[in-house]
Amino acid sequence: EADIYQTPRYLVIGTGKKITLECSQTMGHDKMYWYQQDPGMELHLIHYSYGVNSTEKGDLSSESTVSRIRTEHFPLTLESARPSHTSQYLCASSGTGTGEYEQYFGPGTRLTVT
């Protein structure tokens, strides 16, 4: 089983609050990703990173921001949460160097904005 962790697992928060979703991996992977997934639906890539100090926006426009100051840590921040942000957020990482590697997913954070 992959060592990738997400906290919190569940979060219920009011509109307008600032939140940070944590993601950490202990595999030394260069590449990390954030996906948004509504229940039973497809995965949408919202952010990714090739390595430290590298971040890119994904296919789905998102009001969130990310940072990659350390290899193992890739937090996602929402400055002002809205009900439309209610979803599951999945963090993933993949192997070191060039080439195509499988993605290891964390357990996800289920966010509800009231």
Partner 1 sequence: GQQVMQIPQYQHVQEGEDFTTYCNSSTTLSNIQWYKQRPGGHPVFLIQLVKSGEVKKQKRLTFQFGEAKKNSSLHITATQTTDVGTYFCAGRSYGGSQGNLIFGKGTKLSVKP
E-only strand ranges, 31-108: 31-37, 43-51, 54-57, 65-66, 76-78, 87-94, 103-105
Chosen residue from 24, 36, 49, 62 binding partner 1 by CB under 8 A: 49
- Please tell me whether residue 29 binds partner 1 under the rule CB under 8 A: no
Sign, CA dihedral 94-76-108-45, equals: negative
- Which residues from 60-89 bind partner 1, rule CB under 8 A? none
Shortest separation between residue 96's beta carbon and partner 1, angstroms: 13
Contacts of 16 (CB under 8 A, 6+ apart): 80, 81, 82
- Please tell me whether residue 41 binds partner 1 under the rule CB under 8 A: yes
- Please tell me whether residue 104 binds partner 1 under the rule CB under 8 A: yes
Give the C-alpha separation, 48 to 51, whole Å: 9
Helices (H) and strands (E) in the chain, counts: 0, 11
- Please tell me whether residue 11 binds partner 1 under the rule CB under 8 A: no
- Please tell me whether residue 95 binds partner 1 under the rule CB under 8 A: no
- Please tell me whether residue 33 binds partner 1 under the rule CB under 8 A: yes
Give contact residues for partner 1 (rule: CB under 8 A). Answer: 31, 33, 40-43, 45, 48-50, 56, 58-59, 90, 92, 100, 102-108
